[in-house]
Amino acid sequence: MDVEHLIRSIPKAELHIHIEGSLEPELMFAIAKRNNVSLRYRSVEDLRRAYDFSDLQSFLDIYYEGAHVLRTERDFHDMTAAYLQRAQADNVTHAEMFFDPQTHTDRGIEFATVIDGIWSAMQDSPISTRLILCFLRHLSAESAMKTLETALPFKDRIVAVGLDSSEVGNPPSKFAAVFARARAEGFRAVAHAGEEGPPAYIREALDLLGVSRIDHGVRCLEDPAIVAELVAKKIPLTVCPLSNVKLRVFPSMKQHNIKELLARGLRVTINSDDPAYFGGYVVDNFLAVHRALGLSERDVRQLAQNSFDARFL
């Protein structure tokens, strides 16, 4: 079978997608107009030209500005519905979506407004879905704990907690107590680690946060002991190739280590991260890796199988 046809047609699960990062410029401008919110970019084209990032922080600055247009339950519904329709077109049959409530509650939006809008779109979706609440690691552990407590009345809608935002200088250990409380409440745990941060952050996420998956994790190869543990325990890595190149984790796709991760026996999955900002959804990520590094039919099938094996079902 032609590999590119297989990439497009094979069923896939997406496990690393920030729903706010799926907000395409066209929808961002439409919601801004609906809510009478001013953007500092004059057009969709001007905004897309700004998506030239030098590192994670330069992306986050624009990401948080884009999220500022989201004000109502309808806004969160429309954003989520748009992503799920796009995911279905890539034959994603299951999606586990991150959301960042602190991005919204810190500017006065009620937690219920955020989750109700996302949840309503999930109920209308043709694909199966799960929701993961992420804490913003550049904020305090106290803020994360408050967010967790606010989320408890909605715990039947949330399968896991996660950790995202600025990695360097914000180690997983900062949130050990929050994750202990979350696990005690019955949540699974994941965390961004080993993207810009060192392999030691992966170690902390495993030992101190009790995570079931590592989001990104591409720097694990710098520590053979961590690689051995990830392989032995079958801990999945939710890798986002286009994101890694866009944020300069790797200088180009040809330098990406995903083929080596696969060869080492790691449970690697391919995901889109923040597709509106990084230039592609799941199929685009698969195709970018294939065209730069060459994926065999066996590789594609293994990556797809890994995504289903790593689901929280």
Q: Which residues belong to the active site?
A: 195
Q: Look up residue 236 and give its DSSP letter.
A: E
Q: DSSP 3-state helix, strand, coil percentages of the chain (rounded to 5)?
A: 55, 15, 30
Q: Is 220 exposed, middle or buried (0-12, 13-18, 19+ CB in 10 A)?
A: buried
Q: Could you tell me the two tokens for 50?
A: 């700004």
Amino acid type, 152 = L
CA 228 → CA 114, 204, 232, 264, distances in Å?
A: 39, 16, 6, 9
Strand-pair category, 188-193 with 213-216: parallel
N-to-C CA span, the chain: 30
Q: How far apart are CA 56 and CA 195, in angstroms?
A: 9
What three-state secondary structure class fits 214?
strand
Burial 7-40 (b: 16+ CB within 10 A, else e): beebebbbbbbbbbbbbbbebbbebbeeeeeebe
Q: Could you tell me the two tokens for 304?
A: 């797809």
Q: Where are the beta strands (DSSP E) in the chain?
A: 12-18, 92-99, 128-136, 160-164, 188-193, 213-216, 236-239, 267-270
- Answer for the pair 267, 274: CB distance below 8 angstroms, yes or no: no
